[in-house]
Structure 1
Amino acid sequence: MRVAEIARLTRTSVRTVRYYHQLGLLPVPEERGGWRDYDLSHVARLSRIRWLVQAGVPLKAIAGILDSPAVDASSEDVTVIEDLSGALAAIEEHLAETTRQRDMLTSLLTRARDGLTVSPMPPRMVAFFDRLEAACPDERTRAAVRRERDLVDVACYSGRMPPEAELLFPGPEDGEDDGALAAHGRDTAGLTDAQIRERAADNIARFERVLGPQRCRDLAGHFDTASIRPLFQLIAAVEPGYERMAEAMERLLTEAIARWRTTP
């Protein structure tokens, strides 16, 4: 038979058949009457190649698998086993990555349907910043909200934002939006160190109001305080204007979590 026929029988393409010739996976048949004349052995070989490709075996391993001599059931062909084990590991890794992407897309689709901004942040954080932006009374406040939103976005994307931090962001029922807007509306450039500490303390107090005593204790019980420093170091690095606030927040939040753990 000719190349088009063998391609049709094995549900592949002429180009693929010729590529396998180039790789040495499929023997090149003799010519008869100016055409390459494929026979049953070529069809069988190509079928086995396609079968292994569909199973996820890399092309570079297929020749060794197909050409491995037959062995009895008590023997092991180490090369074949290693090749197949490696192919399986690669497929499992790809499956895990595909599953992660599917879960991310499902979450993003849910947010979009709920009218939330698409973002690396968890939904509660996104909803908080969406509410603040919609309620900003002036452009200066809106710019401050967006700047902080950008910082949190970067922290979430980089993996520096602890998962538990989502709980620290107020929901619409907490009644904290007006206070958060007022804080964003105040200029921080000229604040003294004492005023910076006061502003950071206000943030900690807001966290405690949002969580309540029991949730503060629960959160502190499994919160890894070692994750606090990388978070605020990142914030200070990408936004130098937040450096003093980041230092104050790191210290006060660490102290607060220690206090929550011991509060009866």
Structure 2
Amino acid sequence: MRIGELAARAGTTTRTLRYYESRGLLPARRSVNGYRAYDEEDLRLLRQIRTLQDFGFELEETRPFVECLQAGHPAGDACPASLEVYRSKLAELDDCLARLQAVRDQVAAQLARAEEERAELEREAVRPGGPEPQCELSTPRGPHRN
């Protein structure tokens, strides 16, 4: 298949495919007439790359998975280098989650403090002997005139 068909089937652009080719992730085979030629295996490589990128992997992080497929393994994550990338990504995600949890805890503490301060202000406003709310219409302002 030619580059346009591969791009359409993979849900990407020909520009992206050329970029992957320049990075050594997609083989650059040419037909006798000079056109780029691809097959189902190339589509499989592209789907692996796209899936990993959808998960947040950087393009270079997909290389061990592509190389694993190119080596003839049935899955791109069947090789030790791929497993190491998974471990590294998982550690990165765990760190990110821990930082997010810390921020969430701080926001929850701020909210609890702010709600307590507001409740205290409301309690003070309704205490017996506390200041009475004033209404301009109910408070006389000098001699009454008719």
Q: Is the pair's TM-score, using the shorter chain for normalization, greater than 0.5?
A: yes
Structure 2 counterpart of 1:91: 93
Contact 1:20 1:26 in 2 (8 A): yes
Query: Structure 1 residues 89, 37: CA separation in 2 closer, same or farther (over 3 Å shift)?
Result: same
Report 1:104-123 matches (<5 A).
122=111
Structure 1 counterpart of 2:61: 61
Pick the structure with greater CA Rg. Answer: 2
Per-residue deviation, 1:48: 2.0
Report the Cα distance in structure 1 between the residues aligned to 2:19 and 2:44, rounded to whole angstroms: 17
| DSSP-derived class of the 2:47 partner | helix
Structure 2 counterpart of 1:39: 39
Report the Cα distance in structure 2 between the residues aligned to 1:45 and 1:93, rounded to whole angstroms: 29
Contact 2:25 2:66 in 1 (8 A): no
Per-residue deviation, 1:41: 2.4
Pair 1:171-2:92 in alignment: no
Report 1:8-157 matches (<5 A).
8-68=8-68, 78-94=80-96, 122=111, 125=114
Query: Structure 1 residues 31, 98: CA separation in 2 closer, same or farther (over 3 Å shift)?
Result: farther
Per-residue deviation, 1:93: 4.1
| DSSP-derived class of the 1:85 partner | helix
Per-residue deviation, 1:83: 0.9
1:172 is aligned with what amino acid? E
Per-residue deviation, 1:94: 4.4
Report the Cα distance in structure 1 between the residues aligned to 2:47 and 2:2, rounded to whole angstroms: 16
Query: Structure 1 residues 94, 175: CA separation in 2 closer, same or farther (over 3 Å shift)?
Result: same
Contact 2:48 2:65 in 1 (8 A): no
Per-residue deviation, 1:97: 5.9
Gap regions ≥5 residues in structure 2: 131-146
Structure 1 counterpart of 2:3: 3
Gap regions ≥5 residues in structure 1: 108-120, 128-165, 179-264
Partner deviation per Cα, 1:175-203 (whole Å, 9 max, x = no partner): 49x9xxxxxxxxxxxxxxxxxxxxxxxxx
Q: How many residues align?
A: 119
Per-residue deviation, 1:98: 6.5
Report the Cα distance in structure 1 between the residues aligned to 2:4 and 2:102, rounded to whole angstroms: 40
- Structural RMSD (CA): 3.9
Structure showing the higher helix proportion among its residues:
1
Report the Cα distance in structure 2 between the residues aligned to 1:122 and 1:9, rounded to whole angstroms: 49
Report the Cα distance in structure 1 between the residues aligned to 2:97 and 2:35, rounded to whole angstroms: 43
| DSSP-derived class of the 1:36 partner | coil
